[in-house]
Amino acid sequence: MRRIAPTTLAALAALASVATAFAPARAEQPVAAPAGDVVYAADGALWRIPADGSSEPRRLAMLPAGAGAPTQIIASPNGALVVVVFGEAVGWLQPGDGDRALAWAPCGPPVAVAPDGGGFVCSTAAGPVLQPRAWRAVTVGGGTTAAAWWSADAIAVVRDGALVVEPTAGRARDARVLAAQAPDGPFVLSPDRRRGVGVYANADGERSLYGFALDGRAARRKLGGDATPVAWDGSSRWVLVAEDGYACVVRAVGGEYKCWRRYTPLGFSPDSTYVLLARDGRLFVAPIAGVEAVRPRPVIGADTGAWIAAADN
């Protein structure tokens, strides 16, 4: 796809006319029905419903009394792990047959979930903690501001201005540099552990979205303006971002983008063909394929949700 200036994704969408939420699907580009289930909260419980609306919702768990409405739901694509954020509190669930209890985690947001559902990283006043099988505090040094899942025995953290990956049972000197200069704002790491996308500020304080290889040496590539990266797709090709009231899907190496106006981005389908969006108390799905943005299709009434693989019946 041809590159167009200016750099902000919202402006790109407006100028190129590829980013209207009401653009029709092209007849020559049929899109398969969405697969998998959408997890959401309603009536004091956590539910899952097929993204294509082919059957009724199934309850996963009752939410804790007095917890309030979830502010974020994050899940591994395979459905092995669902993390529910209630403001500054974090609960988690391993879905199975019948209702399961939501367990509380001794930490708060931000949260990063392992792509394979093996655990998640969350935050405490002392630094990030890792939950693979049992809670373990991660040794942190001065300047640690954020963390992301890496593996069952290692964590990616911002330390002394650099983005590094270090073993949770080892020492800081065993760390390997992923990016000599860590992002100045939110960042996400690809499931294949090869690339990162994050927000960097220039000398004037202007913030922009950049992609970079996780080799400690590669130059950054500008992807857009002051956008917030939300999630990678499972193929490590696309990144979902939020900017100025737009939900945008961007190719990680640059050059392609698609946006939906006045939607909140939530995540990708497990097969990386659709995105999950929210707007006005409802959840929507929209395909990634095609030149123009296809009008999102409503799924269920909820403020937030996550997309997981369909349950085995």
Residue range 277-305, pLDDT digits in tens = 999 999 999 999 888 899 999 999 999 99
CB 68 within 8 A of CB 81: no
Tell me the C-alpha distance between 299 and 182, whole Å.
37
CA angle 162–168–173, rounded 5-degree value: 50
Which structure tokens are listed for 107?
């930490």
Look at 198 and 10; give whichever has higher pLDDT. Answer: 198
193-215: per-residue pLDDT in tens?
999 999 999 989 999 999 999 99
Is residue 51 within 8 Å of residue 285, measured between CB atoms?
A: yes
pLDDT reported for residue 99? 72
Task: Say if residue 76 is exposed, middle or buried (CB neighbours under 10 Å; 0-12, 13-18, 19+).
Answer: buried
Which class in CATH covers the domain with range 9-308?
mainly beta
pLDDT of residue 11 exceeding 80: no
- Convert the pLDDT of each residue in 37-72 to its tens digit: 999 999 999 999 999 999 999 999 999 888 889 999
**Would you state the pLDDT for residue 70?**
96
What average pLDDT does range 228-256 have in this prediction?
Answer: 93
Q: What is the pLDDT of residue 97?
A: 60
Element (H, E) at 61: strand 58-62
Which pLDDT score is estimated for 98?
Answer: 66
Specify the DSSP element, H or E, that contains 85.
strand 82-86
| pLDDT confidence tier of residue 142, bands split at 50, 70 and 90 | very low
Edge-to-edge strands, sheet with 176-179: 147-151, 154-159, 162-167, 176-179
| Whole-Å CA distances, 280 to 69, 87, 264, 301 | 15, 19, 10, 9
* Position 243 confidence tier, pLDDT thresholds 50, 70, 90: very high
- Whether the per-residue pLDDT at 251 is higher than 70: the answer is yes
Q: Mean pLDDT, the chain, as a whole number?
A: 84
What pLDDT is stored for residue 189 in this prediction? Answer: 94
Summarised one tens digit per residue, pLDDT across range 19-34 is 444 444 444 456 788 9
| Residue 137, pLDDT score | 58
Hey, where are the domains in the chain? 9-308
Predicted TM-score (pTM) of this structure: 0.86
